Structure 1
Amino acid sequence: MPSQRTWAKLRPLLWPVSLLYWGIAWWRNFFYNTGFFITRRVSVPVVSIGNLSVGGTGKTPAAIFVAQHLINLGHKVGIVSRGYGRRSSGTLLVSDGKGILAAPDAAGDEPYLIASRLTHVPVLVDEDRYRGATVMAGRFKPDVLILDDAFQHRGLTRDCDVVLLDASSPLSDYHILPYGTLREHLGALKRANLVVWTK
């Protein structure tokens, strides 16, 4: 790892790459906003828990909290995640709401944690969120579907977008990758229905 002094010298060199990254993200959002890229809907309401930055902002604890709150209100909940870092691919059922069916390395650490905490909630992972959501909706018939870490996945229509921001991050981090930590410009927050500051 470079020292802070070395990083301070190297960081300005990343600015052109960040401009390119920003341009790609801008055009991608433009095509979704104008309908050139298709957004598909599933048969149940969808709540997305996501963020703008790389790294942890508490998305998984927030997904667990929202799911438990909905359960307390009498709703039947299903959770779909990408399963970042897992050693499997395709659609994988982590929990059927009766028991855990996949190991952490196959499910991914976060989905496995969710399944361990919410033992009566079906949890499914799929890199194709629409496919995973369709399977979850068809098999388990939830009243509400929660997507974990899905703010940038615009191919699936959401009824509520919750975005988490890390209050402990310095302002210097609020730049586009790789100069900063943002996947998208802060202007993307206009798509959010609720913004929550964490930590």
Structure 2
Amino acid sequence: SLVVYNPEWSKGVIGIVASRLVEQFYKPTIVLTLFDGIITGSARSVKEFDLYNALSSCSHLLEHFGGHTFAAGLSLKPENLENFIHSFEEIVASTIQEKSLTPTIDIDNEIDLKEINNMYYSILKYFSPFGPGNMSPVFMTRHVFDAGKARIVGQNHLKLAIFQKDKRCFPIDAIAFNLGEYYEHIVKGNPFHICYHIEQNSWQGRDTLQLVIKDIKLDLS
């Protein structure tokens, strides 16, 4: 598990932070801060691990808690923090299954790139704002190629222009954070599959659509 505490954090953002940490580390996560002398926190879980039951097992160390299988809120006295962290970790370690620690991505729809345009994006915006409880839709597209613009940016990020052969579509800009390991495969002109969010990128007064790639799978067929 992952339990982090900082008395200076804003109570209003700890739920968002917990969700982001689960996305990055894929383990049951609790983010805690101090509010009016009481430690308050927001917890998020991974698939097939009952977070509420785990907190119930630590209830003797908590002032209040509530929620459901995948998300919860809690509060405790500062003097119970160390024992709570130890107890929660013991419960997670003894009950979580190995498959629950393997990251998965839920795909909302499989589409071709030619379907992505301003009209399509305007329809998506009807379902916003996106965030915890209403996550941005995740799409999948198979057999894509880079249009010769692949490059590494930052530490390990990929900047691409994606297209599908024989689909009559123009290349679409894409960014893939922390997926630089796929650069050598992609730059050689090999096909690959992607799952992604669709976002609007504003630059110098011009709005364009961009794919934010969550994962890449090599097409070895």
TM-score normalised to the size of structure 1?
0.27
More helix by share: 1
More strand by share: 2
| Higher CA-based Rg | 2
TM-score normalised to the size of structure 2?
0.25
